[in-house]
């Protein structure tokens, strides 16, 4: 029977936070860790999935009619099968080495690996930009997380050794060499875990940004100008200020990387953090304490990453400053790919 093995990497967003659903810019990169899906074709129209990292939990359903209403990892499988209109029955083995809830996007890694494995079995090819949208739809409609396109685009389109500049208005992507030399990028857990309050904070920010765009008569707030913020209530003005300044910081980071000015990249990470804290109001005490601790141990810059309201802090360490023991080194790796078959 035909067998395909596909890998979807996790990602780190170097800079450009809360810009994806605002038509802005971001600069993520895929990392070495991720999710591997082994798909073996079976006779009959059923999907049988085994999640090895979830104590070998299983799920079985008719390929023609993936049922709704599941929780945990199952809606990812059902949603991918449904949204890709998969016809081939299969046995799916899911394994990963990304810690869940670590801010490294285990969800996108899972969606992407499932999609490539199932498409591989059917010998179908879907444009990767379109596939990112399909995977994101699974997350929105099947899993119930109102996230943007950052994670799936990073997992699918990143290239080894590079960050990926994404323009979320045009969906144009550009690979930017991420040459760190002896410098290190690390992430550290703040200890404040993603929770319902994180999800509601995220959704509230999205709603505020939509409201600001509506009041200014622009499609997304990335089309606004700094002077327009004078027309807005203080809170909405701050959200717009964050997005406009964050977009500018993405391109300043691209320019600094081109000039190999890593000190400048560190400063931009600090500025991003300050704006996420003061303008976007997405920080927590523990995130603040973690960012401070990292700067104190010699980081050239540190910032909260991901949806905010807890989660992880990313820091850039120069060669002479060893990161603390609880830091996880992250390096740019290749994007999603087939490891076997297809
Ligand atoms: C989460 C979402 C992304 C993005 C970030 C904030 O990680 O999954 O789509 O919105 O938050 O930049």
Query: Which structural domains are found in the chain, ordered by start?
Result: 3-177 (3.30.230.10), 184-329 (3.30.70.890)
Cα(198) to centroid of ligand 1, in Å? Answer: 11
Q: Which of 151, 189, 192, 270 is catalytic?
A: 151
Contact 148 CB / ligand 1 (< 6 Å): yes
Mapped onto helix, strand or coil, the DSSP state of residue 174 is strand
Q: In sequence order, which ranges of 99-170 are alpha helices (DSSP H)? A: 106-121, 128-137, 150-157
Contact 18 CB / ligand 1 (< 6 Å): yes
Question: For residue 248, which of 280, 226, 219, 217 has the smallest C-alpha distance?
Answer: 226
pLDDT over threshold 60, residue 322: yes
pLDDT over threshold 90, residue 219: yes
154-211 pLDDT per residue, tens? 999 999 999 999 999 999 999 999 999 999 999 999 988 755 556 788 999 999 999 9
pLDDT over threshold 70, residue 294: yes
pLDDT over threshold 90, residue 232: yes
- Would you report the helix, strand and coil content of the chain in percent, each value rounded to 5? 40, 25, 35
DSSP for 128-140 reads: HHHHHHHHHHIII
Identify the helix (H) or strand (E) that includes residue 294.
helix 285-296
Contact 151 CB / ligand 1 (< 6 Å): yes
Cα(36) to centroid of ligand 1, in Å? Answer: 22
Nearest CA to ligand 1 atom 9: 148
Q: Which atom from ligand 1 is nearest to the alpha carbon of 103? A: 7
Question: For residue 338, which of 118, 164, 136 has the smallest C-alpha distance?
Answer: 118
Distance in angstroms (rounded) separating the CA atoms of residues 53 and 253: 36
The confidence score (pLDDT) of residue 197 equals 58
pLDDT over threshold 90, residue 321: yes
Residue 87 φ/ψ region, left for φ over 0, alpha for ψ in the -120 to 50 degree band, beta for the rest: alpha
Distance in angstroms (rounded) separating the CA atoms of residues 127 and 131: 6
Contact 17 CB / ligand 1 (< 6 Å): yes
Q: Which atom from ligand 1 is nearest to the alpha carbon of 107? A: 8
């Amino acid at each position: 029977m035909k067998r395909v093995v596909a890998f979807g990497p996790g990602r780190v967003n170097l800079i450009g936070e809360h810009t994806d659903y605002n038509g802005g810019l971001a600069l993520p990169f895929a990392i070495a860790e991720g999710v591997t899906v082994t798909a073996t074709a079976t006779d009959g129209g059923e999907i049988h999935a085994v999640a090895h990292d979830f104590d070998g939990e299983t799920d079985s359903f008719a390929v023609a009619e993936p049922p709704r209403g599941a929780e945990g990892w199952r809606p990812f499988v059902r949603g991918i099968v449904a949204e890709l209109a998969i016809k081939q029955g299969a046995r799916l083995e899911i394994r990963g080495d990304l810690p869940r809830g670590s801010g490294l996007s285990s969800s996108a890694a899972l969606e992407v690996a499932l999609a490539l494995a199932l498409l591989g079995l059917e010998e179908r090819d879907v444009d990767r930009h379109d596939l990112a949208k399909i995977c994101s739809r699974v997350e929105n409609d099947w899993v119930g997380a109102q996230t943007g396109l950052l994670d799936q685009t990073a997992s699918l389109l990143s290239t080894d050794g590079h960050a990926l500049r994404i323009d979320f208005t045009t969906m144009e992507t550009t690979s930017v060499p991420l040459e760190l030399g002896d410098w290190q990028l690390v992430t550290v857990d703040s200890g404040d875990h993603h929770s319902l309050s994180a999800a509601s904070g995220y959704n509230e920010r999205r709603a505020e940004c939509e409201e600001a765009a509506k009041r200014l008569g622009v499609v997304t707030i990335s089309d606004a100008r700094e002077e327009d913020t004078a027309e807005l209530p203080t809170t909405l003005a701050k959200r717009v200020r964050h997005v406009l300044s964050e977009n500018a910081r993405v391109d300043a980071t691209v320019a600094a990387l081109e000039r190999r000015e890593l000190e400048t990249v560190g400063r931009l990470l600090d500025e991003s953090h300050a704006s996420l804290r003061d303008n976007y109001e997405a920080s927590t005490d523990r995130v603040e304490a973690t960012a401070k601790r990292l700067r104190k141990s010699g980081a050239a810059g540190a910032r909260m990453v991901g949806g905010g309201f807890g989660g992880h802090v990313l820091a850039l360490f120069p060669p002479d400053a060893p990161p603390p023991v609880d830091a996880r080194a992250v390096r740019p790796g290749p994007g999603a790919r087939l490891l076997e078959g297809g």
